[in-house]
Amino acid sequence: MRIRFIYLLALIFSLVFFISCQPKKQSNLESVQIDSSKISMVYKKKIKELSDVQILKNIRVGDYFEFMDSVVSKYDSLVPYSLSEHLLVRNNPWIIDTLANTDYYRMMARDSFVYDQKQMIVLPKGSQLKIPDSLSACKLLEDFSNTEIDVNIPEYKLRIFQDSILLYSFPVRVGQYRERYLKFGDRVTDLRTKTGKGSIVKHVKHPDFYNPVNGNRFYVTRRDDGKTTMMPQIPWIETEINNIRNGQMIHPTTNPNTLGKAYSNGCIGVGEADAWTIYYHAPLGTKLRIRYDLETYDEGMVISVFKDVYNLTD
């Protein structure tokens, strides 16, 4: 009788989840798919199978995404919603902190020089990953649909809002105020960062690195302190602005001295640690706004006036 009662409660709970967790129509995020066959599978499996995922060996940065994909693939068939890497990690926020701490400059502040970030352990043997239950998944999906990334070019600032509440604020670098020939595109290109509204349309988890001017591929980078390291593995985020994919990416820079400057070839550069936080708050479909506001306001009063880096007011 007790088992039947638990099974009945599970079905009722799953139905409530299905009704309450439908995304808003205006959201581009993938809708939550509830499969009735999955619901029965969940409670036919041993309950402990859905509690914690045991990490049986050290997982390094270089193998991290493949490992997370394998976990998502295995457990997606056991839960009544579409499990994703972003759901899994946001349910285990310690992972973001661990990834952020692979930042070269954070490690140097601890007197630890890291030549190849991909060899760093991010999921230690013996640690655990918690699979989100239905309520947690529903809340996270709602958070995703209510998240917006906001970039103000002359302020050199990227903000993450959720329900209009500021969660994070990060310094950025933006496109230079000039035109330049780029091998990629084989034309003279306006390097200014483009403004408008759009969304996140792609994640590049294993980026290749090329000099956009001459098209040459490179594998190492010279840091602000003069030391040379391998390029780190940190995901890049592709944007679509005003229904156009113009190659404008949000990606980490290995030279944080360039943050707060018009320095890039059009992309929005962020710090290595910050890039991980941004990535896990930017699943596909996340809303994006890139603006050019020279003034900021608080309670209707101007509190900051920024330099007109692109001379748009002339």
Average pLDDT over residues 71-84: 94
- Which residue has better confidence, 219 or 28? 219
69 pLDDT higher than 60 = yes
Q: pLDDT grade, residue 50 (50/70/90)?
A: low
Other beta carbons within 10 angstroms of residue 195's beta carbon come to 17
60 pLDDT higher than 80 = yes
Average pLDDT, the chain: 87
Average pLDDT over residues 119-128: 97
Among 206, 197, 181, 201, which Cα is nearest to 62's? 206
93 pLDDT higher than 70 = yes
DSSP readout, the chain?
A: -HHHHHHHHHHHHHHHHHHHTPPPTT--SPPPP--HHHHHHHHHS-GGGGTEEE--S-EEHHHHHHHHHHHHHHHHTTSSS---HHHHHHTSTHHHHHHHTT-HHHHHHTT---S-GGGSEEE-TT-EEEPP-HHHHHHHHHHHHTEEEEEEGGGTEEEEEETTEEEEEEE-BEE-SSEEEETTTTEEEE-SPPPEEEEEEEEESS---B-TTT--B--EEE-TTS-EEEPP---EEEEEETTB--S-EEEE-S-GGGTTSEEESSSEEE-HHHHHHHHTT--TT-EEEEE--SEEEETTEEEEE---TT-TT-
What the chain holds in terms of domains, given with CATH numbers, is 47-145 (no CATH), 147-305 (2.40.440.10)
CA distances from 189 to 222, 237, 301, 314 (A): 26, 21, 38, 22
Quick one: pLDDT at residue 51? 64
pLDDT digits (tens, 9 = 90+) for 172-213: 999 999 999 988 778 899 999 999 999 999 999 999 999 988
Round to whole Å and give the CA distance between 62 and 188: 36
How far is C-alpha 50 from the chain's CA centre?
26
226 pLDDT higher than 80 = yes
Upper half-sphere CA count for residue 7 (Cβ side, 13 Å): 10
Q: pLDDT grade, residue 273 (50/70/90)?
A: very high
- pTM of the predicted structure, to 2 decimals: 0.86
List, in order, residues 6 or more apart from 204 with CB less than 8 Å away: 235, 236, 237, 238, 249
Quick one: pLDDT at residue 304? 83
Quick one: pLDDT at residue 131? 95
Q: Amino acid identity of 178? A: R
pLDDT digits (tens, 9 = 90+) for 136-168: 999 999 999 999 999 999 999 999 999 999 999
- Which residue has better confidence, 297 or 110? 110
Quick one: pLDDT at residue 233? 98
- Which residue has better confidence, 141 or 38? 141
23 pLDDT higher than 90 = no
Percentage of the chain exceeding pLDDT 90:
75
Largest CA distance in the chain: 78
Quick one: pLDDT at residue 24? 40
292 pLDDT higher than 50 = yes
Q: pLDDT grade, residue 101 (50/70/90)?
A: very high
Quick one: pLDDT at residue 301? 77
Average pLDDT over residues 69-84: 94
Q: pLDDT grade, residue 263 (50/70/90)?
A: very high
Average pLDDT over residues 107-132: 97
Q: pLDDT grade, residue 314 (50/70/90)?
A: low
**Pair of tokens at residue 187:** 């034309």
Among 300, 26, 272, 287, which Cα is nearest to 150's? 287
Quick one: pLDDT at residue 150? 98
